[in-house]
Amino acid sequence: MAIGYGESQYEIPKSRGVPPVVRYLFLVCLIVIFFMGFVSVYYAGEFHVWPAINSAKVELLGKF
């Protein structure tokens, strides 16, 4: 028969939870993820020339 929790002769360690450093890094990384998403959406239309007819035409060197 199995020995129950209260009947164990050994001290069972209890978890102290998530360390504060891990919680801090999780929060910082979450903020960075949303910040990078915002920057990507904000600059999505910048630095592009549309339509393609107006874009710079670069001659490629070499022949196949």
* Host domain of residue 31: 20-54
Buried b / exposed e over 15-33, threshold 16 CB at 10 Å, is: eeeeeeeeeeeeeeeeeee
Does any domain span residue 34? yes
Does any domain span residue 29? yes
Number of domains in the chain: 1
25-29-34 Cα angle (round to 5): 150
Does any domain span residue 30? yes
Does any domain span residue 32? yes
- Least confident range from 12-16, 21-25, 30-34, 52-56: namely 52-56
- What is the value of pTM for the model shown? 0.52
Does any domain span residue 5? no
Does any domain span residue 4? no
> Phi then psi for 14, rounded to 5 degrees?
-105, 140
pLDDT band of residue 36 (cuts 50, 70, 90) is very high
Does any domain span residue 48? yes
pLDDT band of residue 1 (cuts 50, 70, 90) is very low
Write down the mean pLDDT value for the chain: 78
